[in-house]
Amino acid sequence: MNDTLTSLLTELQAGRLEVPEVVERLTTGKTAVTADAQVDLDRQQRCGFPEVVFAEGKTSQAIVEIFQRQIAGGQDCLATRVTPDQAAVLREQFPESVYSELGRTVRIEVAEGKLQGRVTVVTAGTSDRPVAEETLETLRWMRCECELIVDVGVAGPHRLPEHLDRLRGVDAVVVIAGMEGALPSVVGGWVDSPVIAVPTSVGYGAALGGLAALLGMLNSCASNVAVVNIDAGFKAGYLAGLIARRRTS
């Protein structure tokens, strides 16, 4: 609540909001009802960040209406798993939006906020890049400083040590890998921060759509490795962002 109040008062002082609009936002109900959704406008106050739209299976208009309610409440917007057709509608409706074609996300910054925390995202291979982009866009939406290291998997073990200075000293590391999913254990042995491991569905038949990587990561002998679901770049980014925010708040 303090963050919301501070943001509103800052906007008021800067002349970007009028008193009646501030009052309206502070007294708005906790749920905004659209034709297809009940938007949880209280989530930012409860959990620190607004509700995120999972675009898969939704109409473009449904996402537009959810974004409109969030913007009216002074909240940032993020949609994941966005199709090109959905993105075209959202970009036309919200010209200020940022679309990541590779990450399949659309985000809109409404409230002002400073960067908090640092997270490094690492991929084992170039094929893992779409999941990494979803992670990065989530971290940017959370106002977390982030950077990407690409293609340092265990097939070329000499590549990882070259980047250790970018891995040490951050609040969390997200490691994304398919195939056998070995990279998070290796990274975990080099750093003193939490490592969020993301198995991807990259690999041949016995990779079983990411199941082999998932099981390998769950059995990691590195004590600082925790695992999210297959291809779950958003979940990894969100968890890493929360860790970074908590460490720097």
Model pLDDT for residues 185-230, shown as the tens digit of each residue: 999 999 999 999 999 999 999 999 999 999 999 999 999 999 999 9
Q: Is the model's pTM score more than 0.75? A: yes
| CA 24 – CA 54 distance, rounded (Å) | 27
- What is the band of 88 on the pLDDT scale with cuts at 50, 70, 90? very high
Instruction: Tell me which DSSP letter residue 101 carries.
Output: T
- Supply the pLDDT for residue 25: 65
pLDDT at site 18: 82
* 191 Rama class: left (phi>0) / alpha (psi -120 to 50) / beta: beta
Which of 117, 61, 52 minimizes the C-alpha distance to 89? 61
For residue 2, pLDDT beyond 60:
no
Name the percent of the chain lying above pLDDT 70: 95
How confident is the model over 6-16, as a mean pLDDT? Answer: 80
Q: Cα separation of 45 and 25, whole Å?
A: 13
Separation of alpha carbons 137 and 20, rounded Å = 33
Q: List domains and CATH numbers for the chain.
A: 11-108 (no CATH), 118-248 (3.40.50.1970)
Asked if residue 93 lies in contact with residue 128, where contact means CB atoms within 8 angstroms, the answer is: no
pLDDT at 4 exceeding the cut of 70: no
Q: Is pLDDT at 231 greater than 90 in this prediction?
A: yes
Distance in angstroms (rounded) separating the CA atoms of residues 18 and 134: 35
DSSP lists the bridge partners of residue 175 as 122, 197
Q: 131-144 b/e with 16+ CB inside 10 Å = b?
A: bbbbbbbbbbbbbb
Helix 129-141 vs helix 233-248: crossing angle, to nearest 10: 40
